[in-house]
């Protein structure tokens, strides 16, 4: 090839795109707040620049664009998406035309570690999982079982650690404590096995740490062209290497639990003891679909439940620490509600309205699963008039939805449990395409009631017996580069026993 041709190719392939990117970097952000759609690279530079404030950028852009914005990725990549919070669009995708919006291959690719579990499943497989899970959590004894197991973990796990921290004036990371709490409680409830991570000697927690590593890699996979992260996975480098290592830790743990349960069942069979323990692991094992299937099923439920609860509890206590008037009202409500029969779920709902409203408000402001992605099977037109196709993801930013002035009013950034209470003193119903934290339509979260029960039990125990003071100077901010909306550096506090 002639020297001049090589120079020309270098200019076209390297120098022009690099200059464009450099030009963008110096100018991005000055186009009325909308990302520039560059030749070749599309809006990718804006995405990369705003990745660690993704949800805040969504709020800014969506408020200006009537709640729907089309993001154009690099040419020939599969990173095109339509970000929408338009209530009619959300309702349409999640309910009206549900069958055109399954989880699909792209979702399964990104969440490959969940295999055939319910999050990745569509159609018959999804119905099958939902049937088993609902059978388990709608069992007449489930509520009592849940309350007893949660009490047990509070009495023998959380309270001793709180007392220890109060006595020795230790700074503790509340988020880390809640992670241990939900991990132990979740393992006990779903697998009948207590890993005892919540104790005063603070044992290492490789499994929960692995789950956190995995979820941050999953977030990154959403933003990158799939060929890049798949190449990294193939050669085992960078974040994908971290992912693989974390997955191994997780698998070792789950397969150990499965093996343990198998032994237990065999032992019971030998002793002619037909009493089946009430846990989800045993239920799935009875289906005889192999260890890998059981692993996928149980891991998914586990992941679904654990992060939602721990994140909500963390932000709830953070919000109380900066809104002491709300805490006083909850304390008063708990005092007036005595005695509380925790085993009666109706009583919890009617007696603890303000506490329930405060959790709804914490969930609105800090949605634990901050976004939902959908891909249509067939091209479609959304109620807002936007065209979508199978090469495009529809992103519903749940965090942004909770903080839109056009949806929640000018006081949308304030923590006001009162907005959830009707004039008759009951909990106000908000449509799921407005309060989307538990998803909507046929795929609505099945663990909502369970989550509220556990969270109320934990909150009541702590609020009635302890004071929590945030450690001064500690930065409490959300981790925006994770599919779960944890506090990035945790929530460091001092614990005091209540004088009351
Ligand atoms: C505050 C706590 C919780 C929040 C915010 C929450 C939120 C969600 C969301 C957003 C989804 C939809 C996920 C998706 O399809 O991509 C979901 C689904 C699900 N959640 Fe929850 N969840 C919570 C607690 C729980 C608990 C305790 C369980 C335990 C049983 C649970 C079980 C499930 C299951 C099985 C699904 C899949 C439903 C389906 O695809 O049909 N969740 N949850």
Q: Does any domain span residue 137?
A: yes
- Let me know if residue 29 belongs to a domain: no
For residue 308, report the distance from its CA to the centre of ligand 1, in Å.
8
How many folded domains does the chain comprise? 1
E strand or H helix at 164: helix 159-167
Q: Is residue 215 part of a domain?
A: yes
Q: Is the peptide bond before 339 cis (omega within 30 degrees of 0)?
A: yes
Position 460 in a domain: yes
* 340 phi and psi angles, rounded to 5 deg: -100, 125
Residue 246 in any domain: the answer is yes
- Within a domain: 214: yes
CATH number at residue 493: 1.10.630.10
Place of tokens 């090589």: 6
Give CA–CA dist 16/20, Å, rounded. Answer: 6
How big is the CA angle at 421 (ends 420 and 423), to the nearest 5 degrees? 145
Distance CA 343, CA 143 (A): 7
Does residue 418 fall inside a structural domain? yes
Contact 210, 249 (CB under 8 A): yes
Q: For ligand 1, atom 32, name the residue with the nearest CA.
A: 447
Provide DSSP, 34-82.
PPP-BTTTBTHHHHHHHGGGHHHHHHHHHHHTTTEEEEP-STTSS-EEE
Pairing of strands 392-397, 80-84: parallel
Tens-digit pLDDT profile for residues 435-454: 999 999 999 999 999 999 99
Note whether residue 467 is domain-resident. Answer: yes
Looking at residue 484, the DSSP 8-state letter turns out to be: B
> What is the residue with the minimal CA distance to atom 8 of ligand 1?
438
User: Is the beta carbon of 132 within 6 A of some atom in ligand 1?
Assistant: no
Q: Give the per-residue pLDDT at 21.
A: 58
Domain limits for position 225: 78-497
- In angstroms, what is the span from residue 439 Cα to ligand 1's centroid? 8
For ligand 1, atom 24, which residue shows the shortest CA distance?
A: 305
Q: Is 134 exposed, middle or buried (0-12, 13-18, 19+ CB in 10 A)?
A: exposed
Reported as a single tens digit per residue, the pLDDT across 300-349 is: 998 888 899 999 999 999 999 999 999 999 999 999 998 889 888 888 88
Secondary structure in 3-state letters for the chain: CCHHHHHHHHHHHHHHHHHHHHHHHHHCCCCCCCCCCECCCECHHHHHHHHHHHHHHHHHHHHHCCCEEEECCCCCCCCEEEEECCHHHHHHHHHHCHHHCCCHHHHHHHCHHHCCCCCCCCHHHHHHHHHHHHHHHCCCCHHHHHHHHHHHHHHHHHHHHHHHHHHCCCCEEHHHHHHHHHHHHHHHHHHCCCCCCCCCCCCCCHHHHHHHHHHHHHHHHHHCCHHHHHHHHHHCCHHHHHHHHHHHHHHHHHHHHHHHHHHHHHHHHHCCCCCCCCCHHHHHHHCCCCHHHHHHHHHHHHHHHHHHHHHHHHHHHHHHHHCHHHHHHHHHHHHHHCCCCCCCHHHHHHHCHHHHHHHHHHHHHCCCECEEEECCCCCEECCCCCEECCCEEEEEEHHHHHCCHHHHCCCCCCCCHHHHECCCCCECCCCCCCCCCCCCHHHCCCCHHHHHHHHHHHHHHHHHHEEEEECCCCCCCECCCCCECCECCCCEEEEEECCC
Pocket of ligand 1 contains residue 373 by CB under 6 Å: no
Give the per-residue pLDDT at 347. Answer: 85
By alpha-carbon position, which residue is closest to atom 3 of ligand 1?
308
CA of residue 11 to ligand 1 center, whole Å: 50
Q: For position 275, what pLDDT does the model report? A: 61
pLDDT of residue 481: 87
CA pseudo-torsion sign 292, 296, 302, 303:
positive
In three-state secondary structure terms, 124 is helix
* Closest residue to atom 27 of ligand 1, CA basis: 305
Q: Which two tokens stand for residue 302?
A: 């586990």
Rounded to the nearest integer, the mean pLDDT of the chain is 90
The reported pLDDT for the residue numbered 22 is 56
Q: Is 114 in the pocket of ligand 1 (CB under 6 A)?
A: no
Q: How far is the CA of 438 from the centre of ligand 1 (A)?
A: 6
- The number of CA neighbours under 13 Å toward the Cβ of 155 is 6
What's the gap in Å between 455 CA and the centre of ligand 1?
A: 15
Q: Which atom of ligand 1 is nearest to the CA of 133?
A: 35
320 pocket-lining for ligand 1 (C-beta < 6 Å): no
257 lines ligand 1 (CB under 6 A): no
Q: Distance, CA 446 to ligand 1 centroid (Å)?
A: 6
Instruction: Give the separation between CA 472 and CA 324, rounded to whole angstroms.
Output: 16
- Whole-number Å distance, alpha carbon 371 to ligand 1 midpoint, is 13
Cα dihedral: 270, 272, 273, 278 (round 10): 70
Contact of 382 with 84, CB cutoff 8 Å: yes
pLDDT computed for residue 218 by the predictor: 93
Is residue 435 lining ligand 1, measured as CB closer than 6 Å? no
Asked if residues 450 and 190 have their Cβ atoms less than 8 Å apart, the reply is no
Compute, in angstroms, the gap from residue 302 CA to the centroid of ligand 1. Answer: 10
Ranges of the chain whose pLDDT falls below 70 = 1-32, 78, 271-278, 500
Residue whose CA is at the smallest distance from ligand 1 atom 15: 119
- Cβ–ligand 1 contact at 130 (below 6 Å): yes
**Is any atom of ligand 1 closer than 6 Å to the C-beta of 189?**
no
Q: For ligand 1, atom 20, which residue shows the shortest CA distance?
A: 445
Residue 127 Cα, ligand 1 centroid: separation in angstroms? 15
Alpha-carbon distance of 326 to 335, in angstroms, equals 14
**pLDDT the model gives residue 39:** 83
């Amino acid at each position: 090839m002639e020297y001049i041709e090589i120079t020309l190719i270098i200019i076209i392939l390297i120098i022009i795109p690099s200059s464009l990117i450099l030009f963008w970097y110096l100018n991005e952000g000055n186009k009325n707040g909308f990302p520039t759609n560059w030749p070749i690279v599309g809006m990718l530079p804006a995405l990369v620049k705003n990745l660690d404030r993704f949800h805040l950028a969504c709020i800014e852009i969506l408020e200006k664009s009537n709640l729907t914005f089309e993001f154009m990725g690099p040419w020939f990549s599969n990173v095109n998406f339509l970000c929408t919070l338009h209530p009619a669009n959300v309702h349409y995708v999640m309910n009206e035309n549900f069958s055109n919006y399954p989880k699909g291959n792209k979702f399964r690719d990104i969440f490959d570690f969940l295999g055939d579990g319910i999050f990745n499943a569509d159609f018959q497989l999804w119905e099958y999982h939902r049937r088993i899970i609902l059978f388990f959590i709608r069992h007449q004894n489930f509520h009592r079982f849940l309350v007893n197991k949660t009490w047990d973990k509070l009495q023998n796990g959380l309270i001793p650690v709180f007392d220890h921290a109060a006595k020795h004036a230790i700074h503790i990371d509340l988020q880390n404590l809640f992670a241990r709490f939900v991990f132990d409680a979740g393992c006990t409830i779903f697998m009948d096995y207590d890993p005892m991570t919540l104790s005063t000697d603070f044992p290492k927690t490789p499994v929960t740490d692995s789950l956190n590593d995995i979820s941050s890699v999953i977030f990154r996979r959403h933003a990158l062209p799939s060929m890049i992260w798949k190449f990294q996975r193939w050669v085992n480098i960078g974040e994908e290497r971290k992912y693989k290592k974390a997955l191994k830790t997780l698998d070792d743990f789950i397969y150990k639990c499965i093996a343990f349960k198998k032994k237990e069942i065999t032992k019971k069979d030998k002793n002619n003891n037909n009493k089946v323990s009430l846990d989800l692991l045993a239920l799935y094992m009875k289906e005889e679909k192999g260890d890998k299937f059981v692993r996928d099923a149980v891991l998914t439920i586990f992941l679904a439940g654990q992060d939602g609860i721990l994140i909500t509890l963390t932000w709830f206590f953070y919000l109380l620490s900066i809104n002491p008037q709300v805490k006083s009202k909850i304390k008063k409500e708990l005092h007036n509600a005595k005695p509380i029969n925790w085993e009666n779920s109706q009583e919890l709902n009617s007696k603890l309205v303000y506490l329930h409203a405060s959790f709804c408000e914490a969930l609105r402001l800090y949605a634990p699963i901050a976004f939902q992605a959908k891909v249509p099977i067939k091209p479609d037109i959304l109620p807002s008039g936007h065209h979508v196709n199978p090469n495009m993801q529809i992103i519903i930013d749940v965090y942004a939805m909770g903080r839109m002035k056009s949806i929640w009013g000018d006081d949308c950034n304030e923590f006001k449990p009162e907005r959830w209470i009707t004039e008759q003193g009951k909990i106000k119903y908000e449509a799921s395409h407005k309060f989307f934290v538990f998803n909507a339509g046929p795929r609505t979260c099945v663990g909502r009631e369970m989550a509220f029960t556990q969270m109320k039990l934990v909150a009541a125990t702590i609020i009635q017996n302890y004071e929590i003071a945030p450690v001064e100077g500690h930065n409490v901010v959300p981790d925006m580069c994770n599919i779960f909306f944890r506090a990035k550096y945790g929530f460091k506090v001092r614990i005091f026993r209540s004088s009351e």
